[in-house]
Amino acid sequence: MTLAIEQILNGVQFGVMLFLLAAGLTLVFGIMRIINLAHGSFYMIGAYGAAFAAQQTGSLVLAVLAGLAAAAAAGAVIEYVVIRRLYSRDYVQQVLATFGLILFINEGATMLFGREPLYVPMPAALSGVVQIIPGILYPAYRLVIIATGLLVAVALSLFVNKTRMGMLVRAGSTHREMVRALGVNVRLLYTFVFGLGALLAGLGGVLAGPVLAVQVGMGEQILILTFVVVVIGGVGSIRGAFAGAMIVGITDTLLRVLLPVVLRSVMTVSQADALGAGLSSMGIYLVMAAVLLIRPQGLVRVQS
């Protein structure tokens, strides 16, 4: 029982991480209709920024700020130099250009930081376990990740639904021409949305650093699952991104835990574990396929 709870918490933590990435991506997709393959790069830049600052200064606060700043700055620069010119282009050109961006950024990171992973020291206060309910132990830091992610989800939801800027963001997704006709500076809106997406992704990277290893390519690994989250949740919807992220995170984790156990009854442990790991990875895509068959627009439909 305690094992089940701990695994569910693991799933939620993974889901929260996916949400941070998916939220920005779904906004960029929905509002700007741009496919940005390099979204995972902001995750990596945030992680590297925080890791580097942590190593140089040893300060937790500075590390977080540095990671966020790096990601946001990268987002702004990339939007200005590359993305801006892609708004009117075909998806094909967008794919090619953002793929080129990935190569450039990844190799640049390799040149700056080398090919070996960076290990971010865990802040001492958070490095142990916490008893959330008597009998259930869970790593403190991962609880922080969950809490941060939930806070961000609430904040984003409030922002999009209750503020004027948020209303513009929503309108920009569903009634783009109208927004433009009303004289809103759409260019600025786009830059803002893109920067916000980069910032959120960077936050994900900053949080991931102390747990995982910070290395080149970490963004691409999580990016494809992020795409699945966006497709399941519905392009353009933050609520959808949250729902999709939770579904994917928890399903993936539970499958990874349960499938090998089931398979071991029919084959060797090593084969069962490999097949279980592979099948559970495939499982998410099957879920996506199922969602698409029933609701091709995703769980939360955003009119456009």
Q: Is 36 in the site for another protein (CB under 8 A)?
A: no
> Which one of 55, 57, 80, 85 is in contact with another protein (CB under 8 A)?
85
Q: Is 33 left (phi over 0), alpha (psi -120 to 50) or beta?
A: left
- Least Å distance, CB 73 to another protein, is 19
Among 77, 125, 178, 269, binds another protein (CB under 8 A): 269
In the complex with another protein, the residue whose CB is nearer, 153 or 230, is: 230
In the bound state with another protein, the residue whose beta carbon lies nearer, of 69 and 176, is 176
Of residues 69 and 84, the one with the C-beta less far from another protein: 84
Among positions 200, 230, 241, 300, the unique one binding another protein when judged by CB under 8 A? 230
Asked if residue 173 binds another protein (CB under 8 A), the reply is: no
Binding of residue 270 to another protein (CB under 8 A): yes
* Residue burial 97-132, b: 16+ Cβ < 10 Å; e: rest: bbeebbeebbeebeeebeeeebebebbeebeeeeee
Output the six-digit token pair for 142.
């991962």
Residues 6+ apart with CB under 8 A from 173: 27, 30, 31, 236, 302, 304
List phi, psi (to 5°) of 133: -125, 150
Give CA–CA dist 207/185, Å, rounded. 33
| Among the listed residues 13, 173, 237, 251, the single contact to another protein using CB under 8 A | 13
Per the CB < 8 A criterion, the answer to whether 19 and 153 are in contact is yes
Among 58, 89, 147, 151, binds another protein (CB under 8 A): 89
122 vs 184, beta carbon nearer another protein: 122
Q: Do 74 and 42 form a contact (C-beta atoms < 8 A)? A: yes
133-162: which residues touch another protein (CB under 8 A)?
A: 137, 139, 141-142
Q: Does 282 bind another protein (CB under 8 A)?
A: yes
Instruction: Name which of 191 and 226 has its Cβ closer to another protein.
Output: 226
How many residues are there in the chain? 304
| Count of CA atoms in the C-beta half-sphere (13 A) of 16 | 22
- Based on CB atoms, which residue is closest to another protein, 183 or 296? 296
**Window 38-77: residues binding another protein (CB under 8 A):** none
Give yes or no for residue 187 binding another protein (CB under 8 A). Answer: no
The yes or no reply on residue 178 touching another protein (CB under 8 A) is no
Q: CA 201, CA 197: separation in Å to the nearest integer?
A: 6
- The span of 84-92, 150-158, 164-172, 180-188 binding another protein (CB under 8 A) equals 84-92
Contact (Cβ atoms closer than 8 angstroms) between residue 118 and residue 215: yes
Using CB under 8 A, which of 215, 219, 238, 242 touches another protein? 215
